Amino acid sequence: MSDRPWWQTGVIYQIYPRSFADSDGDGTGDLRGVISRLDYLNDGTPRSLGVDAIWLSPFFPSPGFDFGYDISDYCAVDPLFGTLADFDLLVTEAHRRGIRIILDLVLNHTSHLHPWFVQSRSSMANPKRDWYLWQDPKGKSGAPNNWQSVFGGRAWQWDPSTRQYYYHKFLTQQPDLNWRNGRVRRAMMNVFRFWLDRGADGFRLDVVDGYFKDALLRDNPPAPGIRGYERQKHIFDADQPELIDAYREIRALLDTYGARMAVGEVMGNAKQAARFCGPGLLPLAFNFEFTRQSWSPAAFQNAVLRYERLLPEGGLPCYVLSNHDNSRHASRYGGQAPEARAKVAAAMLLTLRGTPFLYQGEEIGMRDGRIRRLEIQDPLGKKYWPPNAGRDPCRTPIPWTAGPGAGFTSGNPWLPLNPDYREINVQTEREDPDSVLEFYRKLIWLRKKSPALQSGGYRPLLSHPDRALVYLREAGKQTMLVGLNFFEQPIQLTLEESLSPGRWKKILSSCNSQSDLHGGAGKTVLNLQPNEAAIWTTDYTEKSGLHGK
């Protein structure tokens, strides 16, 4: 249907392998578990979810202090998740189904047990010393500057053996690499090549705006915030000018392999994310604004309008509602009818302009799990409990069935199953035509058939921004009208903008309502049921296939 690259038209699904599917009964998910669930993700028929690519959180060798985001070997598979042969099989089986594979490259830092760091810390004369950021003590505190770790405390660790500090943006077990060292940069490019040569279709780049730090290591200025890291403006420990050249080098390398992509995890704000993506730079960059919004149509409308203005020509939005670092949006937005809100959120994510990323479990309306103190695994939770249980609640195992181990494992799951897994699980929802899962499935398959939803223009209808999100998606002769009611009451809107003449057939509704519209000169009255997500089109001919079944 489209001559655009797959990452501009497809739907991408994040898999956190540890919690997705366990094939060997050790209580932890693995690559063979992912293979066993590929038909669920996309078997080429509308019975499957229909996603176009999967992003796998790290499965590389790691001591696991940060659950795989502390890597000790970039070019292997941790035995916990399987073998390189399992990865090769996953690529083969996924590609056979038209599913592309995106790997999670953590290139800002390694594990402290990576051989590079072990050598670097062994002596000041070691050839790898300058692969990391070492500094002499300074001033009273000793730390070279005021930089803070994202995980709390100073970002400098004293190493008594060589009597210097090393920099770590995250845990002390995650020393930052020195990207200004050409050997480091070449080693990073070789990591890309290793996985591209094995068939990877793209990469999610962890902390992509953190690779370079100020050469003079200047103190960050203060900022109003609640704790350490948030109390600074991150103008010297991230977001350095050299990033652009590095992104150009990465993009050029990807382009030599054809149709390969990268999506940057930008810790900064939407303005920085917009700056990093576009022609010649990162193909995509996450905009995390949706994870920070209240449940309000105006809040989402403003975030979208702002971002559409910020993006460079050719830049594509990349919104997410949930991921492995944030509370699940079905819990965040809750409300009296969480399933209904989950469907409205899904319709927004899957019909706005851009490439949508889904997080495993959101398609069944999965909530955050309940973690007792003794069950906490995440270092953030261990450090800040109570009240912060860390990220474990959004990382609990996927419930596939209501049966033993929720179909996730035959062993003892590494995190507790959600208490509601007997009601909220894939099998139960596949048998319920009104489930969240069925609505995601219909949306994704509708999106596949609609050039307007996949890659059309975006035109907001702003008559009632505080009451509903209403917008058009247009491509050629096809126009889709999306209406999202965020409230528990029915609403009636009179659209100031006139709709093209003719009958606008409602082809999808999250509550199966049938109210069609009639366009033409003058104003159109649009009705939405409580918490209803609805899509209309005038292009509902058999040819278009837009019948929403």
Q: What φ, ψ does residue 255 adopt, rounded to 5°?
A: -65, -25
Candidate residues 206, 362, 368, 539; the one interacting with ligand TEU per rule CB under 6 A: 206
Q: How far is the CB of 411 from ligand TEU (least distance, A)?
A: 24
Residues in a beta bridge with 103: 56, 203
> Does 177 participate in binding ligand TEU (rule CB under 6 A)?
no
Q: How far is the CB of 83 from ligand TEU (least distance, A)?
A: 24
Burial state string for 476-508 with b = 16 or more CB within 10 A and e = fewer than 16: eebbbbbbbbbbeeebebebeeebeeeebbbbb
Specify the residue, 22 or 265, whose C-beta has the smaller distance to ligand TEU. Answer: 265
Give which of 180, 184, 182, 152 is closest to 168, Cα–Cα: 152
Specify the residue, 286 or 300, whose C-beta has the smaller distance to ligand TEU. Answer: 286
Backbone Cα Rg of the chain: 24
> Does 93 participate in binding ligand TEU (rule CB under 6 A)?
no
Residues in a beta bridge with 495: 524
Specify the residue, 330 or 453, whose C-beta has the smaller distance to ligand TEU. Answer: 330
User: What's the Cα-to-Cα distance from 437 to each of 10, 48, 128, 361, rounded to whole Å?
Assistant: 18, 10, 50, 9
Q: Using CB under 6 A, which residues numbered 99 to 118 contact ligand TEU?
A: 106
The CB-nearest residue to ligand TEU is 69
Candidate residues 35, 150, 184, 470; the one interacting with ligand TEU per rule CB under 6 A: 150
Catalytic residue among 265, 289, 392, 539: 265
DSSP H helices, 352-420, are 379-384
Q: How far is the CB of 109 from ligand TEU (least distance, A)?
A: 7
Q: Using CB under 6 A, which residues numbered 438 to 497 contact ligand TEU?
A: none
Specify the residue, 223 or 525, whose C-beta has the smaller distance to ligand TEU. Answer: 223
Residue 206 appears among annotated catalytic residues = yes
Q: Using CB under 6 A, which residues numbered 225 to 284 contact ligand TEU?
A: 265, 267
Q: Is 474 helix (H, G, I), strand (E, B) or coil?
A: strand
Give me the amino acid identity at 445: W
Angle at 284 between CA 281 and CA 290, to 5 degrees: 135
Specify the residue, 54 or 461, whose C-beta has the smaller distance to ligand TEU. Answer: 54
Q: How many residues bind ligand TEU (CB under 6 A)?
A: 12
Q: Tokens for 236?
A: 């010297």
The whole-angstrom separation of Cα 242 and Cα 218 is 16
Angle at 156 between CA 154 and CA 157, to 5 degrees: 110
Angle at 334 between CA 399 and CA 339, to 5 degrees: 55
Q: Using CB under 6 A, which residues numbered 300 to 329 contact ligand TEU?
A: 324-325
Q: How far is the CB of 433 from ligand TEU (least distance, A)?
A: 35
Q: How far is the CB of 67 from ligand TEU (least distance, A)?
A: 7
Q: How far is the CB of 131 from ligand TEU (least distance, A)?
A: 18
Angular region, 229: left φ>0, alpha ψ -120 to 50, beta rest: alpha
Residue 265 appears among annotated catalytic residues = yes
Q: How far is the CB of 204 from ligand TEU (least distance, A)?
A: 9
Candidate residues 11, 54, 177, 207; the one interacting with ligand TEU per rule CB under 6 A: 207
> Does 66 participate in binding ligand TEU (rule CB under 6 A)?
yes
Contacts of 402 (CB under 8 A, 6+ apart): 421, 422, 423, 425, 427, 428
Which residues here bind ligand TEU, judged by CB under 6 A? Answer: 66, 69, 106, 150, 170, 206-207, 265, 267, 324-325, 391
Active site residues: 206, 265
